[in-house]
């Protein structure tokens, strides 16, 4: 039987209260959202926080709405809710593509968007999706709120820009007219973490690629991004040739490790192929009118 080590439990009633609790309980306290990464780690004693601050009651972190030219996703939005939200799926099909293959429906009922990003597992799917989308993270601390571009959010495996005593409150995703997006993942079995996965966002203006975002996960890509592949696409006419070149660049610049999910060269091969497919799908969606 797996049982976590002893800890103190507090339930926060507002963001301010959560920050106060975190300050009082000190650096060994952790936030618990869905708990579906943290509690399994505590059961295995891979994590032994002295205290947990439960943020599940914070309705103020559960918003999911368009504000101006951004989609704002509260940190406590559950996977299932993001997947069920028609507007989010219309604006950013990449988010629905990714959510559909994250874990299983029951886990998705509980796990949160913020928890996924803060867990910063090197195989997290949403990290790649938000990296492709060039989202912005909003972090709240005792001194107020600050924003961090998603590509500066992850500071290493299981490490983020969220300092002890701070909360991730929301993600802001810029809405780009003329864009299309997609996510492609290969997993060993339904609901598993990716062997490799790639997300793509394309903005096409007057028949050429004006902006490109490519996110990668599980393959050792710094900041879950593929900047060389993105650059190669700018100014190009959308088409198989450009996608294949971008895929090859992404594959060349990531650093997959061999593990129980597969050998490194296979993962590298997958990156090339998944980037190519995600780009083709994103372009097709942009072409179908894409966003407005």
Ligand X SMILES: Cc1cc2nc3c(=O)[nH]c(=O)nc-3n(C[C@H](O)[C@H](O)[C@H](O)COP(=O)(O)OP(=O)(O)OC[C@H]3O[C@@H](n4cnc5c(N)ncnc54)[C@H](O)[C@@H]3O)c2cc1C
Which residues contact other proteins by CB under 8 A? 1-9, 11, 32, 35-36, 39-40, 42-43, 52, 54, 56, 103-107, 109-110, 190-191
x/- map, 54-83, ligand X, by CB under 6 A: ---------------------x--------
- Give alpha helix (H) positions in the chain: 15-25, 38-43, 79-84, 86-91, 93-100, 105-108, 113-119, 125-133, 150-153, 227-233, 240-253, 264-287
Strand pairing partners for 10? 53
Which of other proteins, ligand X, none binds 125 (CB below 5-8 Å, type-dependent)? ligand X
Chain-centre distance for alpha carbon 29: 24
Instruction: Name which of other proteins, ligand X, none residue 124 binds, using a CB cut-off of 5 to 8 Å depending on partner kind.
Output: ligand X
Least distance (Å) between residue 227 CB and other proteins: 35
Query: Contact region for ligand X (CB under 6 A) — 28-36, 130-138, 176-184, 243-251?
Result: 28-36
CA distances from residue 259 to 40, 123, 192, 263 in whole angstroms, order as listed:
21, 12, 15, 6
- Min separation Cβ 152 and ligand X, Å: 16
In the complex, what is the shortest distance from the CB of residue 200 to other proteins, in angstroms, rounded to a whole number?
25
Please tell me what DSSP assigns to residue 254.
Answer: -
- Rounded to whole angstroms, how far apart are CA atoms 17 and 30? 14
Burial of residue 272 (number of CB atoms within 10 Å: 0-12, 13-18, 19+): buried
> Which CB atom, from 113 or from 242, has the smaller least distance to other proteins?
113
Nearer residue to other proteins within complex by CB, 43 or 245: 43
Tokens 């709405």 locate to 65
> Which residues make up the interface to ligand X (CB under 6 A)?
30-38, 75, 102-103, 107, 111-112, 114-116, 118-119, 124-126, 162, 167-168, 192-193
């Amino acid at each position: 039987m797996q049982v976590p080590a002893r800890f103190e439990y507090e339930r926060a009633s507002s963001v301010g209260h959560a920050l106060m609790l975190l300050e009082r309980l000190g650096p060994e306290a952790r936030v618990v959202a869905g708990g579906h990464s943290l509690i399994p780690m505590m059961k295995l004693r891979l994590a032994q926080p002295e205290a947990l601050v439960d943020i599940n009651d914070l309705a103020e972190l559960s918003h999911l709405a368009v504000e101006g030219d951004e989609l704002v996703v509260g940190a406590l939005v559950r996977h299932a809710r993001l997947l069920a939200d028609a507007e989010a799926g219309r604006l950013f099909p990449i988010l629905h593509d990714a959510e559909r293959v994250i874990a299983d429906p029951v886990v998705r009922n509980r796990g949160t968007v913020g928890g996924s990003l803060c867990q910063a597992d090197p195989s997290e799917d949403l990290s790649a999706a938000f990296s492709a989308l060039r989202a912005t993270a909003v972090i709240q601390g005792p001194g107020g709120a600050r924003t961090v571009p998603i590509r500066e959010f992850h500071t290493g495996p299981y490490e983020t820009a969220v300092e002890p005593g701070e909360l991730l409150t929301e993600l802001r995703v810029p809405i780009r007219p003329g864009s299309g997006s997609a996510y492609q993942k290969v997993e060993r079995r339904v609901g598993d973490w990716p062997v490799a996965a790639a997300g793509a966002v394309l903005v096409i203006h007057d028949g050429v690629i004006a902006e490109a975002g490519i996110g990668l996960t599980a393959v050792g890509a710094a900041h879950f991004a593929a900047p060389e592949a993105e650059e190669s696409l700018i100014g190009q006419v959308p088409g198989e040739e450009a996608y294949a070149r971008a895929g090859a660049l992404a594959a060349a610049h990531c650093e997959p490790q061999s593990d129980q999910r597969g050998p490194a060269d296979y993962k590298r091969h997958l990156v090339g192929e998944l980037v190519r497919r995600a780009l083709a799908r994103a372009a097709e969606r942009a072409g179908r009118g894409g966003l407005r």
